[in-house]
Structure 1
């Protein structure tokens, strides 16, 4: 049993589940994660996946509030929570999803996502990250890039998200690396910075040739000794380069450009942007997610008081 957990913050994405047990002052008492993202679960699997991580944190005899954001509120998630349409503030709690639970120790609430009518687009989870970033930078006026399974580019003005664009780069990389013929050339570890930068620059300069360059990953491995590290970096560079070519209206001329994320994927986006003459500011994705969930929790407790 973990002492002092007053509520649980949850970031439930397509690929991963992250949870934090917080006390009444918002300090972290426990944290855990798993690969049980929305894509791996049916509707009956969400409660067991959550309890596998937080069951030992929950006291008997009373429900513990759990506040979640992300794909857990999607149509394929635990319960569908309606979208709010941009332009709007990142998070508002007029509608909160409340999925039924079997375990009496759980009281689950899910923050809704955002939608855009034209061009049609949706986000779930990133709105909470943006809310957390704006707590620290309330005057932010520019573009945010949030890498993930489906990377988001969001234009923010006056405390509102006014437009955004989703790109399936992360999912495409996973599909090609695991299920296409290219997987035979990516069987190994490592990374080749020069190969990545070259692939980014080539694709941004000539995006129409992107589809034809993909098979070169396999061909060069067979004929020219391209290593697994080089092949992995090349495939990533081709995909991120194609994304950057398609999203230049968001990043090319914006004075304020911030990259929100952690780990290797965010580092690759930063490297690609630098190769194209942009040096984005950075924000820790975990910290802003928690900040956004804390702010939503404070608003909820005020509303419930």
Structure 2
């Protein structure tokens, strides 16, 4: 049986993205025994550099046993291409598609991303977020029925789940649009900060939700409000953030009509999640905000247990 299930040694979970490396040593009771974070993402490492990261963990923690690794380490720029698991899928499906490999002397199971045909009819993918999603589903006491999980961020994921399975999802690049538009281009000179909840943010959300206009037609309004109405730089950033988040929610409601009456969970950065929660509340949708780290930990444990169960059934 897998060491993660029989308690012979702690479990190691690794979130290894393009820019950062994060690892947790997880006790058999699910508690974090130690954590490591380094700015050593796979985009900046060759294979020797990736081996060195795992070797450093082994030096720090002793023999690691099998590690579970998610994120861009499983992409075509990572250690090995773990491809994608097609949704609808369960955590057992995800674990069955994991790629067993060796990084140096350490066995590693690389977790595949998820792919789907989204509610908009086009293809969509995620890599890394699937661990948080299945971790949340493993931790929640109510999994029956429809549930929507949102992971706000640079590329926000809107995920539709049913009975503990991920059915499909879509991605919004609103976070990246905000970052780029406030760092260069026409709106950079009239915005300041990351935006905050308040009247300017609420106004942006309402404008995106009720105008019926595409964001391409709305974004210039931020500059016009600064020029014509004296909108300050911090309020301009908040208005812009509201436009983008309000636009995401309007899209989500069009694509998922059931969202209006279903539980919504927000996983990720607390400040950004609070903005999404406020914008959702304005449409009558209540949302809970959940910390991402416990979801990651639970996700690695759920994957390890799924492998252990499959090994027992195969024995």
Query: What band does the TM-score fall into relative to the shorter chain?
Result: 0.7 to 0.9
For residue 10 of structure 1, what is the aligned residue in structure 2? 14
Instruction: Report the CA distance shift for 1:189/1:298 in structure 2 as closer, same or farther (over 3 A).
Output: closer
Q: 3-state SS of the aligned residue for 2:285?
A: coil
For residue 29 of structure 1, what is the aligned residue in structure 2? 33
Shift of 1:198: 0.6
Distance 1:262 1:11 in 2: 16
**2:270–2:289: 8 Å Cα contact kept in structure 1?**
no
Q: Deviations over 1:18-70 (max 9, x none)?
A: 321223443211123345556x53654871784598465242xx454321223
Unmatched tracts of structure 1, length 5 or more: none
Instruction: Report the CA distance shift for 1:202/1:190 in structure 2 as closer, same or farther (over 3 A).
Output: closer
Q: Does 2:262 correspond to 1:255?
A: yes
Q: Which fold has the larger relative contact order, with Cα–Cα distance below 8 Å and residues 6 or more apart in sequence? A: 2
Q: Does 2:5 correspond to 1:19?
A: no
Distance 2:197 2:212 in 1: 22
For residue 66 of structure 1, what is the aligned residue in structure 2? 67
Shift of 1:100: 5.2
RMSD across aligned C-alpha pairs, in angstroms? 3.1
Q: Deviations over 1:122-143 (max 9, x none)?
A: 1222322222222223325222
Q: Deviations over 1:199-220 (max 9, x none)?
A: 0110111242522332333344
Unmatched tracts of structure 2, length 5 or more: 1-7
For residue 86 of structure 1, what is the aligned residue in structure 2? 87
**1:83–1:112: 8 Å Cα contact kept in structure 2?**
yes
Q: 3-state SS of the aligned residue for 1:178?
A: coil
Q: Pick the aligned partner of 1:170 from 155, 175, 180.
A: 175
Distance 2:64 2:208 in 1: 53
Could you tell which deviates more after superposition, 240-249 or 282-291? 282-291
Instruction: Report the CA distance shift for 1:241/1:46 in structure 2 as closer, same or farther (over 3 A).
Output: farther
Correspondence list, 1:47-126, <5 A = 47=50, 50=53, 54=57, 57-59=60-62, 62-92=63-93, 93-98=95-100, 101-102=103-104, 104=105, 106-117=106-117, 118-126=121-129
**1:145–1:258: 8 Å Cα contact kept in structure 2?**
yes
Shift of 1:237: 0.9
Q: Does 2:216 correspond to 1:211?
A: yes
**2:92–2:307: 8 Å Cα contact kept in structure 1?**
no
**1:7–1:22: 8 Å Cα contact kept in structure 2?**
yes
TM-score by length of 2: 0.80
Q: Deviations over 1:61-80 (max 9, x none)?
A: x4543212233323343322
Could you tell which deviates more after superposition, 193-202 or 6-15? 6-15
**2:82–2:98: 8 Å Cα contact kept in structure 1?**
yes
Shift of 1:273: 0.4
